[in-house]
Amino acid sequence: MGCAVPVQPFQSSAQLCLGRAAPDREISLAVPCDAQALEIDSISCVLQEKLRVAVLVSKAALQFIHGVSLPSEYKVPDEVKAAGFEICADELGSIVEGHDVKRLTINGGVEGLATKLSTSTTNGITTTEEELKRRQDIYGINKFAESQARSFWVFVWEALQDTTLIILALCAFVSLIVGIAMEGWPKGAHDGLGIVASILLVVFVTATSDYRQSLQFKDLDKEKKKISIQVTRNGYRQKISIYDLLPGDIVHLAIGDQVPADGMFLSGFSVLIDESSLTGESEPVTVNAAYPFLLSGTKVQDGSCKMLVTTVGMRTQWGKLMATLSEGGDDETPLQVKLNGVATLIGKIGLFFAVVTFAVLAQSLFSRKLQEGSIWSWSGDDALKMLEYFAIAVTIVVVAVPEGLPLAVTLSLAFAMKKMMNDKALVRHLAACETMGSATSICSDKTGTLTTNHMTVVKACICGKIKEVSNCKDALGLCSDIPDIAVKMLLQSIFNNTGGEVVINENGKREILGTPTEAALLEFGLSLGGDFQAERQESKLVKVEPFNSEKKRMGVVLELNGGEFRAHCKGASEIILAACDKVVDGAGQVVSLDEEALTHLKGTIESFANEALRTLCLAYVEMGTDFLATNPIPIRGYTCIGIVGIKDPVRPGVKESVSICRSAGVTVRMVTGDNINTAKAIARECGILTDGGIAIEGPVFREKSLEELNELIPKIQVMARSSPLDKHTLVKHLRTMFNEVVAVTGDGTNDAPALHEADIGLAMGIAGTEVAKESADVIILDDNFSTIVTVAKWGRSVYINIQKFVQFQLTVNVVALIVNFSSACLTGSAPLTAVQLLWVNMIMDTLGALALATEPPQDELMKRSPTQGKGIFMLDGPDSDLILNTLIFNSFVFCQVFNEVSSREMEKINVFKGMLTNYVFVGVLTSTVLFQIIIIEFLGDFANTAPLTLTQWFASVVLGFLGMPIAAAIKMIPVG
């Protein structure tokens, strides 16, 4: 589209380039990587390398400056002191950007910086209006400078740059000069002013369309930037927008989050930061107390931590670098690239016809003058005739070049994007609209997509006893049935081995923060009578290994009051149970996990799973007194505490959506990390798993040979216990071995490879991490599978709308060329003047695109030849030629009006159904007819038309309408 796009925070290295390059693989109706795509890729690489070098040079320069300057020279500016702070924004920025450990130490370390920023590392900043205002005044806000939006007149100026319109404008200028010189004002100016008015109309309609699109894409761009982050303020953990962050804020980061500002590590475990988007380096950086520097725009690859914000907005290293770069809008989509090639070819054909038409018309003039013997005597009228012929030739080129094709694609894509936005789907790349229309396979996640992601523990097996625990009464009943020591160990496991947190919010109410699974377990622990804060204070957290989709487990090591260490782990039931060799029995004693107990636990897992419950196993191991934080958490020798069954109901409407996909030829597969029995139960409930389908586990899948996969993959409907690599492999084989167009849903950092490998990636907007969203083409804002079906529907709509418009425009092109060319060859004159052809071009390109690109999936082909001959209309007199040409022009326009109506349906006879509900279509048709009446009846001198009688008007409308039954008849002819 070429409009200016505001600089966004938190972009990948690919986004720093001129937009998203054309896909490097061929999909339905898309083109393979061509010279243009290669050029875009090369530009992307150059920009990314420049960015990487700039970062490294910036770091080196800062380190050099800090090396030759004395930190003691720093003096706190008076305005900073007056505001109640002891360090300025520039000093903070230099510490983080230069990774200056020496200067950090001189400032008292991270705790010293927090003190100088007047914040608490436990309670965060206070949020009184005065306090926030002072921080903003001294340190700025967390927003990057945006490029100024282009005004409407810029689009007008760009529309005026069209070469053919410039040529026509020159023709109009010459026509004005010669006409006024020969016939005086105003009669001699009619032709020239008519062309000028037509040019201005074309320019303003085109500019208005482009300007409105730019505003729409700007609105969509704002939606992409709506990112929330968890912070501690006033002693409460809460969610705020990244744009509200200020130096001194305490930010909570977890796997998949993007660092929202420059800052310092406060506390955390196993933090790995991916800085590739900033430096281009692929190796992750370990961040800890020894190396505490966190940079805006980087991503948390593993672990979790708390960060002290030091620098925001344009003062961050990312902000300074982004100020030196500009970002372009979306590149042309594959369909636009292809249609541009078609437009160029048709334009060349039109140019040929234009040259031939001009030659024939000029030859007729020369022949007449030769017969009259006035070949060397040229009057002003003769010059105007030649100028008119040239203008007609140029206008034929204008009509022939289908510039409306790319416009129609853009309009259809923009319309589809807007509709999808209303339907809770945010499109990040234009090409995704096209690609989704060709999707033949959807690999869907289970949790949060097919299910509601509102989890609750409804069953538990503790000390060998299975209990319903769907409410507090049931939970308290469980407590009374099992020994106190088992309850204590269970609560210690739940409240310490978690990535969630139980907090008291500003309203004094208890609030659970964390993933739905963590929230369900914490709620279960609270219902058992546990106290989160008290439990956390009884022991010291020494080591944390966050949940990982590869390991499917989470582990922590606690240092108990007596100096002993104990590790807790939880995760996929089969995996954790396999790591256990002991179990807590009904008396609360730790006993060996014999065959009978193991069979009972496995049967419990299976029965829970068959009830469509997600199962988690909790276990612990005693580690003595010699554990070091650098040691790994054990993977064997655990004691099983119990198994819980978590209910996650299927979303309403999923079964119907899956059925719609199947009837549309789209195969839906469930790929999940859950137990295979749970996955099969949910898949059957959703209608995904059918009688002929196969459910397979990831470990079994990855052991298959290529020959076995070739036979197996088409039948796979469920993959359980899958790793990120399994999901990626399945998607890759579907695309390469079976030529499927694959859509993939995902929400975690681990889903990024599959999202990137897929033809179209769909990230979850609620549960999805920022890394997953960045790897995706479409963000599903409500995490609902039904929305994915909506995206597919609008994707198909784009293709069908373009098919309709291509057929409509090509029929107009062919007829316009034939009418003028054949008439020029047969009669030596053109029935359609330059002004009339420009009006037809308006109907065909801009208005036609606007009307047909915003329709539901419909199309139709109509061909219509103009009627010629004065005898048919019994025309006589000096104005008979003018009236005949007006009738041809009028009939031609009404042919296009009814052609647009017929084009609403590709196959159905009834093209009127739903027409009145499409206000854009009705508005375009009404405007076209009204302007046509004005042109014929009131703009005769300007448009070279003559007023028509009611009979002639009726005849024009009837001639145009005749195309509709012809189109209906064509639809009835069987094809293939």
The residues annotated as belonging to the active site are 445
- Report the C-alpha gap between 152 and 161 in whole angstroms: 15
Q: Which residues pair with 307 in a beta bridge?
A: 251, 265
Peptide bond into 186 cis (omega under 30): yes
Structure tokens at 897: 């009006």
Q: Which residues contact 447 (CB under 8 A, 6 or more apart)?
A: 453, 516, 614, 648, 672, 674, 747, 767
Distance of CA 512 to the CA centre of its chain: 30
Q: Which residues contact 34 (CB under 8 A, 6 or more apart)?
A: 22, 337
Backbone angles phi, psi at 477, to 5 degrees: -65, -35
Q: Which residues contact 570 (CB under 8 A, 6 or more apart)?
A: 493, 497, 521, 553, 554, 576, 616, 617, 618, 619
Provide the greatest CA pair distance for the chain: 125
Q: Which strand (E) or helix (H) includes residue 272?
A: strand 262-274
Give the angle subtended at the CA of 522 by the CAs of 519 and 526, to the nearest 5°: 135
Are the CB atoms for 862 and 806 separated by under 8 Å?
A: no
In angstroms and rounded to an integer, the radius of gyration of the C-alpha atoms of the chain is 36
- Report the C-alpha gap between 390 and 398 in whole angstroms: 12
Q: Which residues contact 49 (CB under 8 A, 6 or more apart)?
A: 280
Q: Is 883 helix (H, G, I), strand (E, B) or coil?
A: helix
**Among 288, 319, 407, CA closest to 1:** 407
Backbone angles phi, psi at 264, to 5 degrees: -125, 140
Are the CB atoms for 263 and 229 separated by under 8 Å?
A: no
Q: Can you list the alpha helix ranges (DSSP code H) found in 293-332?
A: 317-322
CA 947, 843, 915, 219 dihedral sign is: negative
> Count of H helices and E strands in the chain?
37, 26
Q: Which strand (E) or helix (H) includes residue 862?
A: none
Are the CB atoms for 273 and 255 separated by under 8 Å?
A: no
**Among 437, 387, 373, CA closest to 409:** 437
Place of tokens 């009611």: 950
Q: Which residues pair with 645 in a beta bridge?
A: 459, 615
Q: Which residues pair with 745 in a beta bridge?
A: 762
Q: Is 762 helix (H, G, I), strand (E, B) or coil?
A: strand
Structure tokens at 39: 């050029």
- Report the C-alpha gap between 332 and 401 in whole angstroms: 19
Backbone angles phi, psi at 668, to 5 degrees: -105, 125
